[in-house]
Every structure is written in structure tokens, then in C-alpha cells.
Structure 1
Amino acid sequence: MTAISDSTLPQKPKWYAPATHLQWWLTWVYIIVGVIIMCSGFVFFINPYHIVPGGVYGAGIVLHSLFPSIQVGTFGWFFDVPLLTLSAIFLGAKIGSRTIFAAMMSPLVMNLLDWIAYPNAAAMKALDPTQLFGGVINMSEHLMLTTIIGAATIGLGCGLVVRQQATTGGTDIVAMFLQKYLNIRFSNGILICDAVVVLSGLLVFGLGLGHIDSGTSGPSWHLSFYSLIAIFVSSKTIAYVINGAQDDKLVFVVSNKPNEDFRQFILQTLDRSATRIKSSGLYTNDDKEMLFLVVSNKEIPAVKLKIQEVDPNAFVVVSDAHATYGEGWRPLPLPGEITAE
């Protein structure tokens, strides 16, 4: 038998990296892409129209109107640097390198996109949509459309970042302080922060307290309603990117006619399982059987037809499943993993 030395084996190319190393690089690529997409949503569809979608950059839009010489992205540094520092000191939070990178990169990318999109410093200060890429994507007459597109783009970018277990900093840190020191739920803290930002936008843009010099005709109180729409769309998009469609359904079937045909339908046709629960009617005291199963939304019609075939008098309850974990579904989240639930 001929001996085989390392030199006779196929050599891995220099660019080769193990799967774990590849995943590590892909994580950073996704964060960079997510930040660029998020900032594009702000620069091209949100900032020029004075829509304030809450958060740090919503506050930046408001402050830019008061201090037009400072770019919107720069205010991100003004907020994020002290907030990240305070969270590390007072909350004992372990700030990951991914979050620091995303939080510090976002203002830089936003300012760079501003510089690319506008022809001169005056247009950049005014955030004039008529001069955005020479007016090619001016959507001043389509505020609803630009709100939805911008919010969805922001949500897509943020969702990609959060999927890599990072955040872009901002109001979630303020919500942590409210939770710890004022005993306010985290979700309510986020709502309070966004409400304060939107109200500040109402004061500045709705009542004309800011520097209004763009495609808008003047103070516009209705912009606050577009801001609320932007918050809703972006939050739903983030949740969809992180958790998927979440269209699973809970099905409870109560029947006094146990049927092997229905059992085989679940196990073989649906390729799922279910939990069989022995029960009894409260009024009749008759023995019954309750089946508990989770199916996708598209499987519901077939389940209903089969139940109708097996027992037309069965009692059936179909409800939304907010999140489904376990074999055949998603794995349970790890400790400290970021979710949108």
C-alpha cells in the first residue's frame, strides 16, 4: 500500500474558511447590508419629508430642523454614544461588538448617503426632496407611498441587523432605564419614547417651530399621522424579518367519536402530530376526546373538511399561534437572544 502524505492530499485554497468562520463573516456582512438598507430608507424616503418615525433618528430629523447645519446622522452619535456608555455603567449591560459597530456605523452611512444624494450643502441642510438625485425620486405629492416604502425599508434593514443579535442602539436603552428605575414595562417604555419623539415632531413641523425650507409648503400637523403609520409599518416589518410570517394556527377539536381515519390524516397527510386529551362534557358528563394540534394557515381548510367528514357535530376552535417552537417548528431562542415577540 502506498503511503499518503499531506502533500498528496487535495490542498484547500487560501481563501477557504471553515463553516464557523464563514458564518462569522456573513454575520458582519448582514449587519453592514442591514445598516445600509435602514439608512437608505431614512435618507431617500423619510428625512426629506419631515416624517418622524420615532427612535433616535426620528429625534435627529426634528433636531436637524432646529439646527440645519448638523446632519441627521450626526445626531445618532450624539444620542447613541452617551446612551451606550450609560447602559454599561448603570445597567451593567454587556454591549456586544456587533451593537457597537452597528450603532457607530449607522450615522456614518447616513451622512455619506446624504452627501451622495444631494448636489450641494444648501440642499443637504434643507433636505430638499426636489434636489434628491436631481429630483428623480421626489415624492412630495405621494406622502403615503413614501411613508410606507421608507418605513418598510427601515424595518427590513433593522430586522437584518437584529437577526444577527445586534441593535443600532437608541431608544431601547432608554426603555431599559424606564423599566429598571420606574418599573415601566419595556414595551411601554419604547412606546413612551416614540410618543415623545412624534410629539416633538408635531411641535416642530406641525406648529412651525423648526426650520421649514424644503419641499413641504409649511407647518403640517398631518405629518404626525404619517409618522404613526411609519412606526406601525416599520415595527411589523422588523417582526416579519425576524420571526417570519407567523401564520401558524392552534386547532382544538372536541369530539365524542374518536376516529382512526382522522388520526392517520394528521400523522400521514399533514405529517404532523397532535396531543390527545381525555375530557368530559360539563353538562352531560359524557366522555369526550379533545385533540390539540398546530398547523399552518394554508392547512386549515383541509383540516376543517376532514373534521366535517369525520364528525360534523364536533366542537372546533381555531386560534392564532403567536410563536411555535419545538420539533418540526422553530428552535427555542437561546438565553439573551433578541426576538421581536
Structure 2
Amino acid sequence: MKENKGQVSKEQEKEIRDEEKKTLRRRLTDYLVITVASVIYAVAVSFFLDPNSLAPGGVTGIAIIFNRITGLETGTWMFMINIPILALGMWKFGWKFILSTLYCTAATSFFTNRLASVGAVTADPLLAAVVGGSLMAVSLGLVFKAGATTGGTDIIVKLLRLRFPHLKTGSLFLLTDAIIVTASAFVFQDLDTALYAGLVVFINSVLLDIVLYGRDGAKMFFIISDSPERIVSRLLEELDISATYISGSGAYTGTDKKVVLCVVKKPLSPKLEEIVRQEDPSAFTIITSASEIYGEGYKSIFSQKL
């Protein structure tokens, strides 16, 4: 019996080591993807947006504006602006949430400064807006799929939602981007440039959805796990989304189960998948598309279809 117990223990230890190796490989792969995405983002900023004075929303737009006012490199401003924002995010959401975001911010800032000397690839503001916005969307899609964020207004919006839960996330993003684009019109003394910057915001928003999930409206998750409470706790805290428990039982084992049902908007889906993987790698998860959702945070049940 002792030998059997020892043998089982060794098998468990081997499973733990194998799982740790898989986790390490996955982490290294994620950081490699984030590095590639950071280079792509830096190309968008240094080759297309910054040289043509296109200041899209977010920290990048603020950094481009401050670069014109002070002369300090755009990448440096991107990192400096993010430092207090990341500190707030770490205080509110914990270091695990911020670690990959901090790396992404540092890498993006570094590559942006290194590539700035190349200058504009095109002087046509329309081409710069289309290509720059498209590259940003590809970069952000890769970052989200790697379980990270770019920091900046993402964290600010999450903090505002904690303080003012009645405000909609999409409205907050739209408001912050509109303020930054409007400010660029005054700084650069050029309305056309500001309108092209607004085009960058639009292209980035539309293409990011397509890069991440095609044209699906949202994602619906059915999660069957031995740790449903921990998963839901993190959904509430980190993603600011709710969930519903559905009672069920295993057909083979007869064991009672809590099935977690939740619907998330597309940009949040990669983070939700990462939370499930971290809390219960063996969870049985079904992900399906949800084209129409009515209720709080989505469309009104009384709204008319167009």
C-alpha cells in the first residue's frame, strides 16, 4: 500500500511539473506575441500616425500631442503617461493584471522611439490614417489574445466604471477619444488633421472587432468547473461583468455541478478565457456567438430593430 501511495504521489508530482512546463511555455509564447504586437504598434505610430500629426484617442494620441508641445519623444511620453495609470491599476486590480500590460507598454514605447528616426512612409494623411489604424487594430488584437492590454484608457475606463457603474463602457471610450481628437485640432491648428485622426479611431475600432472575432456580436460562455465561485469572483472584480449559476449534474458521475453562464463583449473574451485557464485548466467550456443581446449593458428590450 505504501508503494502504491508513493507511486501515486510521484505521478501527481509529474503531472504538476508537466502543467508548470505547459504554463511556462504558454507564458513565453504570450510574451513573444506581445513583443511582435508592440513592434507592429510602433510601426503604426512612428511610420504613419506621428509623422503626419494624427493623434488618435488613448494615451498614444496624448503622447503625440505632448511631443509637439515639449519636443520629448512620443514613445517616452507614452511610457510616462502610463506609469501613474498602471500604478492605479495595480492598486485596484492586483499585480497579475498589470504585469503583462507593463511589459507591453514598455516594449511599445521602446520600439516607437527606436523607429521614429525612419520618419513618415507616406505623406498622404488618408493613407496614413487607413494603414496606421489597420496596423493598430492588428496589434491590439494580438495583445488581447495574449491575455494583456495596452494600459492607458483601458484602465482609466475600468476605474471610472467602478466609481460610476451606471456609465456605459463604450460611451466612456468614445468620450475620451473624442476629447483627445478635439484637442489635437487646437494643438495642430488643423481641423482636417483632427478629422483624419477620428478616422483612425473608427478604423481601429471596426477592424479590431474583425481581427478578434470576425463579425460576431458577442460571446456566450458556458463554463463547467470545479471552481465556479473563484471564476465568477474574478469576472466581477476584473472584467466588471456578471454571471448566472445554472444547476446541473454529471450524467455519468451524478455529481451536482454549478454551470457558469455569462455573455461578454468581444474585446473581453480573451481575458475571460485566460481567467478560466488560470483558475481551472480542466474546466469544460463552451463558447458560442451571440448576435443579439438585450438587457443592462446591451440593447434595450424596447428598442426597435433597424
User: TM class by shorter-chain length?
Assistant: 0.5 to 0.7
Give the deviation of 1:223 after TM superposition.
1.1
Change (3 A) 1:45 1:72: same
Please tell me whether residue 87 in structure 1 is matched to residue 96 in structure 2. Answer: no
Give the deviation of 1:94 after TM superposition.
4.7
For each residue in 1:16-46, what CA deviation from the matched residue of structure 2 results, as whole angstroms up to 9, or x when unmatched? x965544332211111000100110010011
The residue number in structure 2 matching 1:64 is: 67
Matches within 5 A, 1:309-320: none
Change (3 A) 1:165 1:232: same
SS in 1 for 2:56: coil
Query: Given residue 182 of structure 1, which amino acid in structure 2 is its aligned partner?
Result: F
The residue number in structure 2 matching 1:176 is: 158
Give the deviation of 1:89 after TM superposition.
2.3
The residue number in structure 1 matching 2:174 is: 191
The residue number in structure 2 matching 1:108 is: 110
The residue number in structure 1 matching 2:143 is: 161
Query: Given residue 105 of structure 2, which amino acid in structure 1 is its aligned partner?
Result: A
TM-score by length of 1: 0.56
For each residue in 1:297-331, what CA deviation from the matched residue of structure 2 results, as whole angstroms up to 9, or x when unmatched? xxxxxxxxxxxxxxxxxxxxxxxxx98xxxxxx99
Select 1:238's aligned residue among 201, 208, 233.
Answer: 208
Change (3 A) 1:203 1:336: farther
Provide the C-alpha distance between the structure 2 equivalents of 1:50 and 1:20, rounded to a whole number of angstroms: 42
Change (3 A) 1:100 1:334: same
Give the deviation of 1:83 after TM superposition.
0.3
Q: Judge conservation of contact 1:155–1:238 (CA < 8 Å) in 2.
A: yes
Select 1:47's aligned residue among 50, 54, 71.
Answer: 50
Task: Give aligned pairs, total.
Answer: 209
Query: Given residue 82 of structure 2, which amino acid in structure 1 is its aligned partner?
Result: D
Query: Given residue 235 of structure 1, which amino acid in structure 2 is its aligned partner?
Result: S
The residue number in structure 1 matching 2:134 is: 152
Please tell me whether residue 334 in structure 1 is matched to residue 270 in structure 2. Answer: no
Matches within 5 A, 1:288-299: none
CA-atom RMSD, angstroms?
A: 2.9
Query: Given residue 224 of structure 1, which amino acid in structure 2 is its aligned partner?
Result: A
Provide the C-alpha distance between the structure 1 equivalents of 2:270 and 2:114, rounded to a whole number of angstroms: 39
Q: Judge conservation of contact 1:60–1:75 (CA < 8 Å) in 2.
A: yes
Please tell me whether residue 74 in structure 1 is matched to residue 76 in structure 2. Answer: yes
Matches within 5 A, 1:6-45: 20-45=23-48
Provide the C-alpha distance between the structure 2 equivalents of 1:231 and 1:94, rounded to a whole number of angstroms: 29
For each residue in 1:266-319, what CA deviation from the matched residue of structure 2 results, as whole angstroms up to 9, or x when unmatched? xxxxxxxxxxxxxxxxxxxxxxxxxxxxxxxxxxxxxxxxxxxxxxxxxxxxxx
Provide the C-alpha distance between the structure 2 equivalents of 1:18 and 1:239, rounded to a whole number of angstroms: 32
Give the deviation of 1:222 after TM superposition.
1.1
Which blocks of at least 5 consecutive residues in structure 1 are unaligned? 1-16, 119-128, 130-136, 207-219, 249-321, 324-329
SS in 2 for 1:334: helix
User: Which structure has the larger Rg over C-alpha atoms?
Assistant: 1
Which blocks of at least 5 consecutive residues in structure 2 are unaligned? 1-19, 219-264, 277-289, 291-306
Provide the C-alpha distance between the structure 2 equivalents of 1:247 and 1:26, rounded to a whole number of angstroms: 28
Q: Judge conservation of contact 1:30–1:160 (CA < 8 Å) in 2.
A: yes
TM-score by length of 2: 0.62
Provide the C-alpha distance between the structure 1 equivalents of 2:163 and 2:188, rounded to a whole number of angstroms: 32
Runs of 4+ in 1 over 6 A off after TM superposition: none
